[in-house]
Every structure is written in C-alpha cells, then in structure tokens.
C-alpha cells in the first residue's frame, strides 16, 4: 500500500513526491488481465442471458438503388404465389438492390475465411449468400434483437454512376426505399432456407422538388431499424407453410441441432411518382436528347452499423432470462 501521512506528521514536498511515485508504480504494474469493460461486462451480460451478439461496421458502397415499378404493392406480377404477408414482403424486396455492406454475407464470410467460429457456410445457396452467423441455441427457441442504421449519404450523377453530381442530385418526384429480409436455417442438416420480412421494417425518403436546382450532393439520411424477431418451432412451422415446405421432409426442426444459422439481406430501391414515367431498367435514358433523370438517381451508402443480440428467451415458453433477476 502507498505510504499515508500520519496524524501530526509534517508534510513536505519530498513526502508528497514519494506518495505520487508509490501510487504511479502501482498503476503501472496493472496488466490487461486487471481490466474489464464495466459498461458491458460479465456482471451485466453473461452466458445465462444471451447466446451471442454481433455489432458490425458497414463500409462505403455504391452505386445502389435500381429503379423498380410500384414497390410495396401486392398487385404486381412479381408476387406470383400465395403466402403470408411476411413472405409477400420478402418476395417483393428480394428484387431490390442488395446493400452488401449491411448484409450478413459480407461479414459472415469474412469471419469464416478468418477461421472464426461465429459463422459457417450453410451449404445452401440463398439470396443472402451461403455464409450465415451461427446461433448456439442448443435447439431452443429464442428472441433476436436485430438493428441496422443504414446511412444513405450521397446521390450519384447520371453521366457516370460513380461520380457525384453536384447539380440536381435528388431530382423532384423521386424516393428511395430500404428494408431487411431475414433468412434462417433451423439446424445444420436442414435442406431449405426460410425467409421473411416484416411489414414495418421499411424505410422511405422522398424529394418533392425545390425552387432552386442548385442543391448539394449530400443526402445524409439514416434509416434506422430495431426489430424483435421470435424464432421458435411455431415460427418455423408457419414460415415453412408459407413457402410450401414439409417440416419433417426438409428437416426444419429447431430441436434437431445444437446451432441454427441466421442471415439477412439489406436492400434499397428507388421509384418515381411524378409525370416522368419509368423507362426501362436503367437509371439513365441516353436517347437523342442526352441523359435524363427519368428513372431517378442512384445512391452511395457510407459507414453505419448493423448487428443482432440473440437472447435466451422464448415467449412461447415464457422462461425467465436469469433466475436471479
């Protein structure tokens, strides 16, 4: 222990310096093992509360946002089948541009290639890729807190998709949409991937024009999502019925494995609602009049974050997270 002054003892400059040196020596002797992050330490979150958690930083990506006809409607030819609302939304949103920077494949594959055990190759091709994050749920149902902060930062010009256009960056009558589509492989031997997308996991931002066309290139809009996903056998049975899968034949039992596999696809699309109709699938119309803004402009996303927290809580069984709570 550092030398402490005693009652009645004369305090001098040298005695104060000695105490400083003793305290400093104790501090410098501390190692990494002596520290823990109290904000999220074992005393707050431990293995009795969560199965696993991931927080991922999304890199810059673009151009994104292909033009789509009538997004978020059920009357278009792209539906082509029956099913619950969550499957309708998934089918619609799968045709939008994938934002790889905010999707699971980019991050799960990087972890897999690095030899980490947090993700695996599912062996089944899906719109979200082959690499999913593994959830060590021991065959139990659980709750997933999923979040994403998709930062749409810039508009891109019509001449070159990768060049910022300082003028008319967000021409009147255009909007862009973002959403998340989820994917699940219930156990390592499952033969199918289940998918769904909630109706309220949807963001839209629009422009109605400006008196001046000399507006800046930055969009700087963040679409933030916080979603609670319950994953248990009842959920799986319902999703399987929507997609026409036989739970037994396709081995879709959550209890048949030590782990399940979770992935997602972040998507973006743009559309127009003004008098300028959709012309093909390209965002530019290079006719005799030169480039136009008929199909709107594309976007670039910048660094945001995405992640999830898999909680040991199944509302179906209503088990408590921690007995001591």
Please state, as a whole number, how many other Cβ atoms lie within 10 Å of the Cβ of residue 224. 11
Q: How far apart are CA 268 and CA 148, in angstroms?
A: 13
Helical packing angle, 233-243 and 85-93, nearest 10°: 60
Task: Label residues 227-239 b or e (16+ Cβ within 10 Å = b).
Answer: bebebbbebbeeb
pTM (predicted TM-score): 0.74
Average pLDDT over residues 158-180: 61
**pLDDT score recorded for residue 300:** 85
User: What is the H or E stretch that residue 174 is in?
Assistant: strand 174-185
Q: How far apart are CA 218 and CA 202, in angstroms?
A: 22
The pLDDT confidence band at residue 240, using thresholds 50, 70 and 90, is very high
Contact status, residue 299 vs residue 152, Cβ threshold 8 Å: yes
**pLDDT score recorded for residue 159:** 45
Contact status, residue 241 vs residue 162, Cβ threshold 8 Å: no
Helices (H), the chain: 13-28, 85-93, 104-113, 233-243
**pLDDT score recorded for residue 217:** 52
Among the residue ranges 34-48, 192-206, 207-221, the one predicted with the least confidence is 34-48
Residue 154, beta-bridge partner list: 218, 300
Nearest C-alpha neighbor of 136 from the set 96, 187, 174? 187
Nearest C-alpha neighbor of 56 from the set 93, 131, 96, 106? 106
Q: Residue 77: pLDDT above 80?
A: no
Q: Residue 247: pLDDT above 90?
A: yes
Please state, as a whole number, how many other Cβ atoms lie within 10 Å of the Cβ of residue 40. 10
The pLDDT confidence band at residue 92, using thresholds 50, 70 and 90, is confident
Average pLDDT over residues 59-83: 65
Contact status, residue 321 vs residue 313, Cβ threshold 8 Å: yes
User: Which carries the bigger pLDDT value, residue 142 or residue 166?
Assistant: 142
């Amino acid at each position: 222990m550092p030398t402490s002054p005693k009652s009645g003892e004369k305090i001098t400059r040298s005695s104060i310096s000695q105490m400083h040196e003793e305290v400093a020596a104790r501090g410098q002797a501390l190692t990494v093992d002596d520290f823990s992050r109290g904000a999220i330490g074992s005393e707050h979150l431990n293995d009795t509360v969560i199965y696993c958690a991931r927080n991922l930083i999304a890199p810059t990506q673009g151009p994104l946002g292909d033009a789509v006809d009538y997004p978020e409607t059920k009357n278009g030819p792209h539906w082509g089948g029956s099913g619950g609302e969550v499957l309708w939304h998934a089918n619609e949103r799968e045709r939008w541009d994938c934002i790889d920077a905010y999707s699971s494949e980019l991050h799960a594959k990087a972890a897999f290639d690095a030899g980490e055990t947090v993700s695996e190759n599912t062996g089944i091709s899906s719109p979200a890729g082959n690499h999913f994050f593994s959830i060590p749920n021991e065959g139990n149902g659980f709750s997933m807190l999923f979040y994403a902060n998709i930062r749409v930062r810039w508009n891109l010009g019509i001449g070159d998709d990768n060049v910022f256009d300082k003028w008319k960056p967000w021409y009147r009558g255009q909007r862009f949409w973002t959403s998340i589509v989820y994917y699940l492989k219930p156990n390592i031997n499952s033969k199918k991937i289940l998918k769904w997308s909630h109706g309220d996991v949807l963001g839209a931002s629009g422009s109605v024009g400006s008196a001046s066309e000399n507006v800046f290139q930055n969009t700087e809009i963040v679409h933030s999502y916080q979603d609670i996903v319950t994953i248990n056998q009842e959920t799986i049975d319902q999703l399987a019925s929507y997609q026409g899968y036989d739970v037994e034949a396709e081995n879709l039992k959550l209890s048949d494995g030590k782990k399940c596999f979770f992935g997602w696809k972040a998507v973006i699309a743009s559309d127009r609602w003004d008098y300028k109709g959709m012309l093909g699938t390209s965002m530019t119309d290079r006719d005799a009049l030169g480039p136009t803004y008929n199909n709107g402009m594309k976007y670039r996303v910048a660094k945001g974050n995405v992640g999830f927290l898999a909680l040991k809580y199944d509302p179906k069984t209503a088990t408590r997270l921690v007995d001591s709570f």
